[in-house]
Amino acid sequence: KGKIIILGIETSCDETSAAVLADGTDLRSHVISSQISTHQKYGGVVPEIASREHSMHFRPVVQQALDEAQVTFQDLSAIAVTYGPGLVGSLLVGVSGAKAMAYASKIPLIGINHLEAHIYANFIQQKDLQFPLLALLVSGGHTHLILFEGHGKYEVLGYTRDDAAGEALDKVARTLGLGYPGGPQIQRVSQEGNPQAFKFPRAMLEADSLDFSFSGMKSAVLNTLNSARMRGEVLSVPDIAASFQEAVVDVLVRKTLMAIKRTGVKTLLLAGGVAANKLLRETLEMSLLKLGIRLVYPEPIYCTDNGAMIATAGYYHYLVGDFAPWTLNAVPGLSF
Ligand code: KG4
Ligand code: ZN
């Protein structure tokens, strides 16, 4: 009784997910319905199919989350939903559904920025995070270094000028015939590869820039593959994968260390799907240990898209009364 209970809903890409969170840290239920197997045969997410799948799974996923948490709509304090960035048709399923349920239940609606929520995934298991925090957000659509100075207070220090890190991994994986999503596949086959086999370029941009660029690095791999093909040579897929993974992680780590030096923060948060990458975690862990910087990352299930991170971000919006109007709409290009 008297608890703040938030239903969090995520439908921005290919996961329909809902979670019930009590008082910010007590995750009562978490349901994820992934469409990965549906999209796999097309080599990537097909937006039209994604919308239809969300429409089909939305209500059952929400009901399961409520049932597992042993609550009804009457027990909820608010409903938090991702309104961007993402695929417009997918976002609309979540936004419309959340709006209808909140309106009918006479409780507030909270609009959540998906990027912010990825960072909040770190608050699900860590109860003692102290601001200021630095966040490295690496997902399929975004690569950002963010100075996080307090709840709702962000400064973007750097972002990708072209491809996101996950996008580059996905594209290289697809060319290597490894399937979708590519990041986990690259990680898997890299275990049998030599990361020194190919010297792929590291795009560092201007000396003081915290921005990223992965498009040229991706093209270097594709060019290597094409010229080998023309010479009739077959290159080792594990060697290519391991060398590319090494190059991507190298750039992410070097830029992150630059940002730590510049800001003087004592804690780094990893966020987004690529934060699940083992090499990235281990390399950062080693570098940061020497500097006395704490590294925090969510369990893999909270790194990729999920409703628990939406509910967690929603809790902090709830505390300051940051509610959305009933006119809330999907914003596919939403940024920080
Ligand atoms: O955060 P996310 O689930 O969706 C977006 O908001 O984009 O991130 C998906 C991305 C994909 O590019 C996927 O290949 C990548 O995260 N990813 C990984 C790993 N697991 C997921 N990349 C590298 N290593 C992994 N273990
Ligand atoms: Zn995401």
In a domain, 125, yes or no: no
Q: Is the CB of 277 under 6 A from ligand 1?
A: yes
Q: Tokens 């730590």 map to which residue? A: 260
| Contact call for residues 291 and 134 (beta carbons, < 8 A) | no
Residues 167 and 65 in one domain: no
Residues 109 and 215 in one domain: no
Backbone angles phi, psi at 134, to 5 degrees: -105, 135
Q: Is the CB of 187 under 6 A from ligand 1?
A: yes
Residues 92 and 194 in one domain: no
Residues 174 and 68 in one domain: no
Residues 141 and 229 in one domain: yes
CATH number assigned to the domain comprising residue 163? 3.30.420.40
Residues 167 and 260 in one domain: yes
Confirm whether residue 190 is marked as ligand binding: no
Confirm whether residue 215 is marked as ligand binding: no
Q: Is the CB of 213 under 6 A from ligand 1?
A: no
In a domain, 270, yes or no: yes
Confirm whether residue 139 is marked as ligand binding: yes
In a domain, 325, yes or no: no
**Number of domains the chain contains:** 2
Q: Is the CB of 84 under 6 A from ligand 1?
A: no
| Ligand 1, atom nearest to 167 Cα | 12
Residues 251 and 112 in one domain: no
In a domain, 336, yes or no: no
Q: Which domain holds residue 289?
A: 130-297
Residue with the smallest CA separation from ligand 1 atom 11 is 140
pTM of the model: 0.94
Residues 139 and 107 in one domain: no
pLDDT beneath 70, residues of the chain:
1
**What pLDDT is recorded for position 66?**
98
**What pLDDT is recorded for position 1?**
56
Q: Separation of 274 CA from ligand 1 center, angstroms?
A: 4
ipTM surpasses cut 0.95: yes
Distance CA 251, CA 181 (A): 21
Distance CA 107, CA 19 (A): 17
Residues 166 and 283 in one domain: yes
In a domain, 328, yes or no: no
Confirm whether residue 138 is marked as ligand binding: yes
Distance CA 262, CA 243 (A): 29
Three state DSSP letters for the chain: CCCCEEEEEECCCCEEEEEEEECCCEEEEEEEEECHHHHHCCCCCCHHHHHHHHHHHHHHHHHHHHHHHCCCHHHCCEEEEEEECCCHHHHHHHHHHHHHHHHHHCCCEEEEEHHHHHHHHHHCCCCCCCCCEEEEEECCCCEEEEEEEECCEEEEEEEECCCCHHHHHHHHHHHCCCCCCHHHHHHHHHCCCCCCCCCCCCCCCCCCCCCECCHHHHHHHHHHHHHHHHCCCCCCHHHHHHHHHHHHHHHHHHHHHHHHHHHCCCEEEEECHHHHCHHHHHHHHHHHHHHCCEEECCCHHHHCCCHHHHHHHHHHHHHCCCCCCCCCCCCCCCCC
Residues 113 and 42 in one domain: yes
Distance CA 320, CA 170 (A): 38
Q: Count of CB atoms within 10 A of residue 184's CB? A: 19
Which numbered ligand comes closest to the C-alpha of 32? 1
Pocket test for ligand 1, best of 304, 305, 336 (most atoms within 8 A of CB): 304
Confirm whether residue 54 is marked as ligand binding: no
Pocket test for ligand 1, best of 139, 176, 189, 191 (most atoms within 8 A of CB): 139
Residues 65 and 179 in one domain: no
In a domain, 335, yes or no: no
Residues 21 and 140 in one domain: no
Q: Is the CB of 35 under 6 A from ligand 1?
A: no
In a domain, 333, yes or no: no
114-147 b/e with 16+ CB inside 10 Å = b? bbbbbbbbbbbeeeeeeeebbbbbbbbbbbbbbb
In a domain, 35, yes or no: yes
